[in-house]
C-alpha cells in the first residue's frame, strides 16, 4: 500500500454511504470523526434513525428509478470523493441461507443476486455520470469472505456466497474499465469481518466473542483499509485487516 496517499483527515468532497444498516451507520459516525473535510450523504430505503445527518437520499438498489433519482441528487454539489456501498441481504422474510441443495429456491437466488450482485454494479452505473475525472475517488463495496471461491472450504449459503462472488467479478471488471476512463479511481471489495448487526444476528451464537466485531470497530478497520488504497490497488478484494482475499 502507498504511504504517500493523503490521510482521511485531508480528504475533501462528498462521501456517499449507501445503506444505513449496522455497518453503514457506524461508517457515517466514523467518517464524521475522522474525515471532517467530507460532506456526508447517506441513503436507505426508510429515513435513518438519526438526526444530524448532513444529507439523506432514499434509495432501493433494486429499483432503477430510485438509482436515477440518486444520480440526479448528486449532480449538484462537491465532487464525489468516496462511495461505500454497505447494502447487503443474507436473510429476511421467506429467505434463509441454505444448508443444503434441497433448500435452494429460484426466488432466493434472484433476491440475493438483485441486492448483493446487481445492486453494486448498477449503483456504479448510476453514479458514473457524476464522478470526477481529474481527482481521486474511491468506490468501495462490502463483499464477504464467504464470497471467495478459493476460500470456500465449508459449503452452504449457496445464494449469498454466489451473489457475493458475482459482485466481486462485476466490480473487478468495472475496476479494469475505470482504470482507463478514471485513472484516479480506486474500486475495492471489502470484507468487514463478522460484525454484530442484524445481518449476522441469527448466526452469532457460533462465533467466538473475540471474532465478533462491534459495528464501530468494523467501520474503523474498513476506513483504515481504504485510507491505504490508491488507483494502483484498484480491483482488489480486501479483508478488514488489509490482507488480500483470494477470489
Ligand atoms: N455483519 C457481518 O458479519 C458481515 C460479514 C460479511 C459481510 N457483510 C456485508 O456487509 C454489508 C453491511 O451489512 P450489515 O452487517 O451492516 O447488515 P445490516 O445491518 O443488515 O445492513 C444491511 C443494509 O442493507 C439494506 N438493504 C437491503 N436490501 C436493500 C435494498 N434493496 N435497497 C437498499 N438497501 C437495502 C438494509 O436496509 P433495510 O434496513 O431497509 O432492510 C440494511 O440497512 C453487507 O453487504 C453484508 O453482506 C456483513
- pLDDT value for 71: 97
Tell me which residue of 197, 216, 209, 105 sits closest to 144, measured CA to CA: 197
Residue 136 within a domain:
yes
Which 3 state secondary structure label does DSSP give 228? coil
Compute the distance between CA of residue 27 and CA of residue 23 in angstroms, rounded to an integer.
Answer: 6
Residue 184 within a domain:
yes
Mean pLDDT, rounded, of the chain = 95
CA of 90 to the centre of ligand 1 (A): 8
Which 3 state secondary structure label does DSSP give 164? helix
Confidence of residue 157 (pLDDT cuts 50, 70, 90): very high
Residue 247 within a domain:
no
Residues sharing a CB contact under 8 Å with residue 126, sequence separation 6 or more, in sequence order: 67, 68, 70, 71
pLDDT digits (tens, 9 = 90+) for 160-193: 999 999 999 999 999 999 999 999 999 999 999 9
Helix (H) / strand (E) containing 65: helix 64-74
Residue 3 within a domain:
no
Q: Report percent pLDDT > 70 for the chain.
A: 97
Which 3 state secondary structure label does DSSP give 92? strand
Residue 171 within a domain:
yes
- pLDDT value for 110: 98
CA of 120 to the centre of ligand 1 (A): 12
Alpha carbon 134 to chain centroid distance? 23
CA-CA-CA-CA torsion sign (169, 247, 199, 128): negative
CATH of the domain at 124: 3.40.50.720
CA of 89 to the centre of ligand 1 (A): 6
- The β-bridge partners of 95 are 92
Residue 246 within a domain:
no
Index of the ligand 1 atom closest to the CA of residue 141 = 45
| Nearest-CA residue for atom 1 of ligand 1 | 195
Choosing from 46, 69, 86 the residue with most ligand 1 atoms within 8 A of its CB, the one to mutate for a pocket test is 86
| Nearest-CA residue for atom 20 of ligand 1 | 199
Parent domain of 211:
8-239
pLDDT digits (tens, 9 = 90+) for 19-29: 999 999 999 99
pLDDT at 79 over 70: yes
What are the DSSP E strand ranges found in 69-204?
Answer: 80-85, 137-142, 185-191
Residue 78 within a domain:
yes
Domain count, the chain: 1
Specify the length of the chain in residues: 247
pLDDT digits (tens, 9 = 90+) for 15-67: 999 999 999 999 999 999 999 999 999 999 998 766 566 799 999 999 999 99
Binding-site residues, ligand 1, Cβ < 6 A: 19-24, 44-46, 59-62, 86-89, 115, 142, 144, 191-192, 194-195, 197-200
Q: Which three cell numbers stand for residue 48?
A: 435513518
The DSSP result for 112-133, as a single string, is HIIIIIIHHHHHHHHHHTTS-S
CA of 88 to the centre of ligand 1 (A): 4
pLDDT digits (tens, 9 = 90+) for 112-141: 999 999 999 999 999 999 999 989 999 999
CA of 190 to the centre of ligand 1 (A): 13
CA of 85 to the centre of ligand 1 (A): 9
Confidence of residue 4 (pLDDT cuts 50, 70, 90): confident
| Nearest-CA residue for atom 42 of ligand 1 | 21
Burial class (CB in 10 A: 0-12, 13-18, 19+), 44: buried
Residue 1 within a domain:
no
Amino acid at each position: 500500500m502507498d504511504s504517500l496517499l493523503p490521510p482521511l483527515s485531508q480528504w475533501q468532497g462528498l462521501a456517499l454511504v449507501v445503506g444505513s444498516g449496522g455497518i453503514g451507520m457506524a461508517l457515517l459516525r466514523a467518517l464524521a470523526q475522522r474525515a471532517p473535510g467530507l460532506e456526508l450523504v447517506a441513503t436507505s430505503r426508510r429515513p435513518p434513525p438519526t438526526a444530524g445527518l448532513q444529507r439523506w437520499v432514499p434509495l432501493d438498489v433494486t429499483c432503477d428509478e430510485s438509482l436515477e433519482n440518486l444520480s440526479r441528487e448528486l449532480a449538484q454539489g462537491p465532487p464525489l470523493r468516496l462511495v461505500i456501498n454497505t447494502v447487503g441481504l443474507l436473510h429476511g422474510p421467506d429467505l434463509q441461507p441454505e444448508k443444503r441443495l434441497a433448500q435452494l429456491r429460484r426466488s432466493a437466488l434472484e433476491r440475493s443476486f438483485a441486492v448483493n450482485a446487481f445492486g453494486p454494479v448498477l449503483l456504479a452505473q448510476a453514479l458514473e455520470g457524476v464522478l470526477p475525472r481529474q481527482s481521486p475517488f474511491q468506490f468501495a463495496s462490502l463483499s464477504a469472505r464467504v464470497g471467495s471461491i478459493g476460500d470456500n472450504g465449508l459449503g452452504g449459503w449457496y445464494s449469498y456466497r454466489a451473489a457475493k462472488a458475482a459482485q466481486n467479478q462485476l466490480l473487478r471488471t468495472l475496476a479494469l474499465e475505470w482504470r482507463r476512463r478514471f485513472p484516479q479511481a480506486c474500486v475495492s471489495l471489502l470484507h468487514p469481518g463478522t460484525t454484530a448487526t442484524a445481518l449476522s444476528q441469527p448466526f452469532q451464537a457460533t462465533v467466538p466473542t473475540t471474532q465478533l466485531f462491534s459495528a464501530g470497530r468494523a467501520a474503523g478497520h474498513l476506513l483504515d483499509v481504504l485510507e491505504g488504497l490508491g488507483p494502483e490497488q484498484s480491483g482488489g478484494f480486501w479483508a478488514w485487516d488489509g490482507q488480500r482475499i483470494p477470489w
